Amino acid sequence: MNVYDSKRIIDTLTKSEFEQIDNSKNADILIFYTCNIREKAAQKLYSNIGFLKTKKTKVIAVGGCVAQAEKDLIFNHKGINISFGPQTYHRLPEHINDILKGKKDKILDLEFDQDKKFSSLPKRKNISYSEFVTIQEGCDNFCTYCVVPYTRGREYSRPVKDIITEIKELLAIGAKEITLIGQNVNSYHGEAPYITIGNSRNTWRIERLIQEIAELDGLKRLRYTTSHPKDFTTELMEVHANTPVLVPFVHIPVQSGDNRILKLMNRGHTAQEYLDKLSKFRDICPNIQFSSDFIVGFPTETDEEFENTVKLVQEAKYTISYSFKYSRRKNTPADRMIGQIPEDIKEKRLDILQKTLLKDQICFNRSLLGKTQEILFDRIGRKEKQYIGKNVFLQSVVVESDENLIGQFRNVKIDSAGDNSVKGRIV
Ligand code: SAH
Ligand code: SF4
């Protein structure tokens, strides 16, 4: 989502009198767009400001979730002029001009203004072949470890019409793959584009939205992320089975495999309920693959409870997963819990979990050997003539080619499989 927001900030500024340049050394204005989900991201901000600031710098703006969480404390760090939240970046040109003209010295803009933000954003430009589109923002789930409901605000779903318009714009200028994004896309309930009998709220859910998007000319692949297990419906599984452009790969984070910890986290489901959803999904869509997020060392987590997470992983069989040590976030309920887990125990648990996850990842990569897959190439590799693309499972696939493959879909036969990427040749 921060990649999406950053691109929209560039669109907004370049539509006004500003220009994006390649080298920060020559920049008058430095903009930092931040994440606050774990502690490290906030620490990086302050060291990056020190590193990138030069004598030429006239304005430093810090945006995103660190700005939203720190409020005016952010100005304790010397040199920062503007602090803007994730919902106010449409006003950035105005704020930068106020600082440049000397009208103001410091500006704090942290309102939750989703409606106005999306309606003020200009047309998309400078895009890649694979693009994100925000459909939903904010979260009402209040998982006890998480800052998102406080930094991104309450749930907001963009109207269907706006999402379709943005995707059509992207497809018209070359995008081929679209990823619908939101903190919890499965609770999407955006204003419908027309009134339908029997739909008293006149909103569409994600299932209907996907079906509408899938019909758009030029769209080759469609993804969405992130899904909350408790909101994942059987209907959405059926949409997967009937919608060829929708990839057979879904990120459904579970966080823990232990029922007591899941309850303390306020996730709203048990480990078994989660596993049952995965197996129902596999029944409906036999080629579906899953990825997940995990948090180890949540307050009071015992060794046995951590073992339940390892057991869940062994049963769920993920293609890839992301795992993190629990990070204390200010003003969240978990931060106030007694029984915080020491860092060395979190480290050990993370190591065990990551080794377990890697085994399945390698196993999945190997299962592709000899198979032909359609790859969308979007990067050049480190070696000459090397191109890197993604398959439907978001795995990086490397090939050699004399022809420039960027932006192309090609069938590739996989002939070698490493831990993190696979190699192949064009067929
Ligand atoms: N909305 C998504 C997650 C968004 S945050 C969901 O509910 O699944 C992305 C991931 O960061 C989470 O899935 C979680 O694994 C991790 N995360 C969030 N807060 C964290 C914290 N305080 N410490 C460690 N990891 C955290
Ligand atoms: Fe955070 Fe996701 Fe829970 Fe929302 S559902 S509070 S974004 S972890």
DSSP 73: G
The whole-number pLDDT of residue 37 equals 92
Q: How far apart (Å, rounded) are the C-alpha atoms in residues 389 and 329?
A: 36
The number of the ligand 1 atom at minimal distance from the alpha carbon of 325 is 24
Q: How far is the CA of 146 from the centre of ligand 1 (A)?
A: 6
The two structure tokens encoding residue 2: 């921060």
The number of the ligand 1 atom at minimal distance from the alpha carbon of 145 is 22
Ligand 2 lined by 228 (C-beta under 6 Å): yes
Q: How far is the CA of 318 from the centre of ligand 1 (A)?
A: 17
Ligand 2 lined by 143 (C-beta under 6 Å): yes
Task: Name the residue with the closest Cα to ligand 2, atom 1.
Answer: 146
Ligand 2 lined by 141 (C-beta under 6 Å): yes
Q: In degrees, to the nearest 5, what angle opens at C-alpha 114 toward C-alphas 93 and 109?
A: 45
Q: How far apart (Å, rounded) are the C-alpha atoms in residues 37 and 17?
A: 33
Cβ density class 397-421: b for 16+ within 10 Å, e for less: bbbeeeeebeebbbebebeebeeee
Place of tokens 């992130």: 226
Find the ligand nearest to 139 CA. Answer: 2
Task: Return the best residue to mutate from 151, 228, 324, 329 for the ligand 2 pocket (most ligand atoms within 8 A of CB).
Answer: 228
The number of the ligand 1 atom at minimal distance from the alpha carbon of 253 is 8
Task: Name the residue with the closest Cα to ligand 1, atom 3.
Answer: 183
Ligand 1 lined by 138 (C-beta under 6 Å): no
Ligand 2 lined by 407 (C-beta under 6 Å): no
Place of tokens 């899938």: 214
Exposed / middle / buried, residue 253 (Cβ in 10 Å: 0-12, 13-18, 19+): buried
The whole-number pLDDT of residue 263 equals 98
The whole-number pLDDT of residue 204 equals 95
DSSP helix/strand/coil, 414: strand
The whole-number pLDDT of residue 420 equals 80
Ligand 2 lined by 147 (C-beta under 6 Å): no
The number of the ligand 2 atom at minimal distance from the alpha carbon of 228 is 5
Task: Name the residue with the closest Cα to ligand 1, atom 21.
Answer: 327
The number of the ligand 1 atom at minimal distance from the alpha carbon of 146 is 19
Ligand 1 lined by 146 (C-beta under 6 Å): yes
- Closest Cα partner for 130 from 25, 257, 247, 251? 247
The whole-number pLDDT of residue 139 equals 95
- Closest Cα partner for 148 from 294, 329, 7, 298? 329
Task: Name the residue with the closest Cα to ligand 1, atom 1.
Answer: 183
Amino acid found at 245 = V
Whole-model pTM over 0.85: yes
Q: How far is the CA of 52 from the centre of ligand 1 (A)?
A: 29
Q: How does pLDDT run along the chain (427 residues), one tens digit per residue?
A: 999 999 999 999 999 889 999 888 999 999 999 999 998 877 889 889 999 999 999 999 999 999 999 888 899 988 899 999 999 999 999 999 999 999 999 999 998 888 888 888 888 888 889 999 999 999 999 999 999 999 999 999 999 999 999 999 999 999 999 999 999 999 999 999 987 777 777 999 999 999 999 999 999 999 999 999 999 999 999 999 999 999 999 999 999 999 999 999 999 999 999 999 999 999 999 999 999 999 999 999 999 999 999 999 999 999 999 999 999 999 999 999 999 999 999 999 999 999 999 999 999 999 999 999 999 999 999 999 999 999 999 999 999 999 999 999 999 999 999 888 899 999 9
Find the ligand nearest to 252 CA. Answer: 1
Ligand 1 lined by 377 (C-beta under 6 Å): no
The whole-number pLDDT of residue 42 equals 73
The number of the ligand 2 atom at minimal distance from the alpha carbon of 226 is 2
